[in-house]
Amino acid sequence: MKIKVWCQKCVLLLVSTRTMVQARNKGEPGNSDQQKHTSTETRTIQERIVNVKMELWSRGAYSFHDENVIEEQDESYLSNLETQLQMAPLQLGPIRQARRDVWRKQHQQSSSSNWWNQFRGGGDHVYDEKARLDTLKSVFGPEFTAALEQNQREHAIDCQLSCESFYCATPDTPLKPLNELLSNNETIVQSYSFGPVPPEGFGETFGFPLDLIKVTRGKSLFSAEEAAQVIAMAEAEGVEKNEYKSGKYRLGGDWLDNLPSTRKWFNEKLESTFFPLLAHLFPEIISSPAALRAHSVSLLKYNASHPRTDVHIDNGILALTVAMSPQDQYEGGGTFFEHMGQDDVVEMDVGFATLRPGSVRHGGHPVTNGHRYILGGFLLLEDRVEHVRRLKNRGTELRHANDLVKAAQHFEWALAINPKCTTCLKDWAEILYSQKQLAAAEEKIRAALDLLENMDSDALFTLGLILSEQGRDEESIAAYQQSIKLNSDDAELCYNLGIKLGAKGKTNEEMDMYARAVKVDPSLGGAWLNWGTALAEQGELDDAEPNFLKAIECGDEVAPKGMINLGLLYHAKSKTLAQGKDAILDA
């Protein structure tokens, strides 16, 4: 099998070399010639591969692209990884430093044959879920125990419902060999880093390092002709009649529950391809294909009016995305993972798939022309109840119901099971913020950002809000600006940053932000209103007028404000036109 490894950060070679030299002088682990020599002599290739991967991970080299993860992890593969390691920039933030400290400690005590297992899932410790839950039951009492039991019941129902709609393998179903699934290795699987935080469910169980985003490459899993037939079938079933909402975006498409013929095809693919492939790719978490359950499966249609999904995480321990349209039928599109940067788009042509844990933050790059169909589904594991996700979801529901105390309790429980549940920290911070407990809110959101190494635009947005509320304007602006670097398509963020910049007298930058905000979301009336106001304050009445008219079109609370400001503008115009006439009544 051909191995292809490349590094997007090669341009940083000189810089990283210098940094590495400095690190060596400080005695940083993993850079000692003696240590490397020892490793080479005493460890197997497999061990050395894990070692190098972990070193890459600890350096924040998340964009490394690792093909051929399943088989043939040989000398050549190791050599490529080591080359990549030399090129990787040495970026040590506080969390990475903590990881490295753990790594160093363990590295020095490497007598254990499987020492690297100590770091699986983020470097904490080997995890015994049952023991932890039993301990927590005694800590939190019967309410917590009841919540776990509710999780189990809901999980069982979801799994049962899944089998009513989607293919479920029986326990005696044999696992198809990987060679067969990958067309004798004509199909390869490329891995991308999952980012700094392990999956929210069973994080400690997933393999280390977290190269958990798997994308098929090479030969497609099914042909373009087959995909075209499926799309024609779905269109005949009325897939285009439905519309979803993803954050601020509208999406075309429909649930497969409403598209029976398309679902039949998908079920065949689950059986023949996706379930066995998943079982091979994630053996640490999937006990057998018979444990897999599909739910919330939909066929989405992207086009210029329905361009993308917002940045989000998926509601399942695993998720599956399948490209159903040839790349020559659309422009733009593709998925980006926030920790990799919004411009680092993972592209997939028709017949290719991405398989990964659900809890990584990702979004769609906008489709600007043509149309693109994507089949997406969330997956459960029948033998693993996702307590963290279910507690967190229930907490969110309680927030919607304005029961903030219970909501916070659920986030606390979820965090007790998984202290790295960053969405739990974020949601809890927002509750504290709404309760004006700003110091506590800041502590929670900063904890999430520390874990995520600041690579979360939503968390930075919330931090900006919290700091703003405390009157720490400069810090607030800095947080918003960090956020916008990660997700420049966030209209509310642009709007808030515009307000802060305007308050600092930076009117041109303020107006730029409003312009960006309404480009993303033309219905954001506040941005039209403030943009018009900024123009009017500069005397640009003619330019301000259409903005106020747009604000009025947006309706809701902003419309009457737009009317008032437009009234002021017309009053001002009236005064201007009347200038020079000696009014007979100067009342």
Partner 1 sequence: MPRFRIISEVQRLTFFLPSFLSLHQVNNDLKGAHEYAVKASELVDAATPFLQEIVDRGDGDGDTRRYLEQIAPLRLRCHRMVGQLLAALGDLPGCEAEFRLATEKFPTDPGAWQMLARILEVQGKTDETRQIKEKLQAIIAAAAASVIQ
Residue 430 C-beta: closest distance to partner 1, Å:
5
Q: Which of 97, 100, 111, 117 is nearest to 46 (CA)?
A: 117
Strand partners, 376: 298, 321
The rounded distance, in Å, linking the Cα atoms of 282 and 295 is 18
Residue 583 C-beta: closest distance to partner 1, Å:
5
The rounded distance, in Å, linking the Cα atoms of 429 and 533 is 33
Tokens 């280390």 sit at which residue? 208
SS3 content of the chain, % helix, strand, coil (to 5): 55, 15, 35
Contact by Cβ (8 Å): 9, 344: no
Contact by Cβ (8 Å): 527, 518: yes
Residue 353 C-beta: closest distance to partner 1, Å:
23
Q: Which is nearer to partner 1, 211 or 510 (CB)?
A: 510
Q: Which of 105, 154, 120, 152 is nearest to 133 (CA)?
A: 152
Residue 91 C-beta: closest distance to partner 1, Å:
28
Q: Which is nearer to partner 1, 283 or 560 (CB)?
A: 560
Buried b (16+ CB within 10 A) or exposed e, 142-173: eebeebbeebeeebeebbeebeebbbbbeeee
Residue 431 C-beta: closest distance to partner 1, Å:
9
Structure tokens at 64: 């490394």
Contact by Cβ (8 Å): 285, 158: no
Q: Which is nearer to partner 1, 109 or 434 (CB)?
A: 434
Omega prior to 89 cis, within 30 of 0: no
Stated as kind and residue range, the H or E segment containing 181 is helix 178-181
Residue 346 C-beta: closest distance to partner 1, Å:
22
Q: Which is nearer to partner 1, 19 or 396 (CB)?
A: 396
Residue 462 C-beta: closest distance to partner 1, Å:
7
SS3 label, residue 367: strand
Chain centroid, CA 16 distance in Å:
28
Give me the residues that bind partner 1 (CB under 8 A), please: 246-247, 312, 315, 393, 396, 399-400, 423, 426-427, 430, 433-434, 458, 462, 465, 468-469, 492, 495-496, 499-500, 502-503, 526, 529-530, 533-534, 536-539, 557-561, 563-581, 583-587
SS3 label, residue 504: coil
Q: Which is nearer to partner 1, 323 or 431 (CB)?
A: 431
Contact by Cβ (8 Å): 430, 441: yes
Residue 137 C-beta: closest distance to partner 1, Å:
25
Q: Which is nearer to partner 1, 73 or 530 (CB)?
A: 530
Q: Which is nearer to partner 1, 199 or 526 (CB)?
A: 526
Q: Which is nearer to partner 1, 65 or 248 (CB)?
A: 248
E strand spans, 160-239? 187-192, 213-218
Q: Which is nearer to partner 1, 14 or 578 (CB)?
A: 578
Q: Which amino acid is at 186?
A: E
Residue 436 C-beta: closest distance to partner 1, Å:
10
Buried b (16+ CB within 10 A) or exposed e, 360-392: bbbbbbbbeebbbbbbbbbbbbbebbbbbbbbb
Residue 468 C-beta: closest distance to partner 1, Å:
5
Q: Which is nearer to partner 1, 59 or 295 (CB)?
A: 295
Number of Cβ within 10 Å of residue 229's Cβ equals: 12
Residue 129: is it exposed, middle or buried by C-beta count within 10 angstroms (0-12/13-18/19+)? middle
Residue 360 C-beta: closest distance to partner 1, Å:
15
Q: Which is nearer to partner 1, 55 or 489 (CB)?
A: 489
Stated as kind and residue range, the H or E segment containing 343 is none
Q: Which is nearer to partner 1, 126 or 564 (CB)?
A: 564
Residue 150 C-beta: closest distance to partner 1, Å:
16
End-to-end CA distance of the chain: 91
